Amino acid sequence: MKVREEKRGTVIFDTLNEKVYTINETGAGILKLLLSGNTLDGTAKILAQDYNSDEAAVRSDVIQFVDELAARSLVNKVPAT
């Protein structure tokens, strides 16, 4: 999977299956945090602080987003080390 900033948002390239997806700013923010090495919990914590939101609710949204990516085989979910 490759990620590139485009004129109207962020694009995900599924280089294995040769598919392209667009995601909006919030999805891009989640992906950026995950790709820079944050865990799901860490990502939720940062976003909850940034948006002054309830961490548990944000975590649920982050997981839902990652599940969507996993369903398209764009990411694999692994336990945090």
Question: Which parts of this chain interact with other proteins (CB under 8 A)?
Answer: 2, 4-8, 11-13, 15-16, 18-24, 26-27, 30, 47, 51-53, 57-58, 61-62, 64-65, 68-69, 72
Provide the 10 A C-beta neighbour count for residue 74. 19
Kindly state the smallest distance separating residue 33's Cβ from other proteins, in Å.
11
Alpha-carbon dihedral sign for residues 55, 11, 24, 49: positive
**Of 18 and 79, which has the nearer Cβ to other proteins?**
18
Kindly state the smallest distance separating residue 24's Cβ from other proteins, in Å.
5
Kindly compute the dihedral angle of the four CA atoms of residues 78, 4, 21, 33, in this order, to the nearest 10 degrees: 30
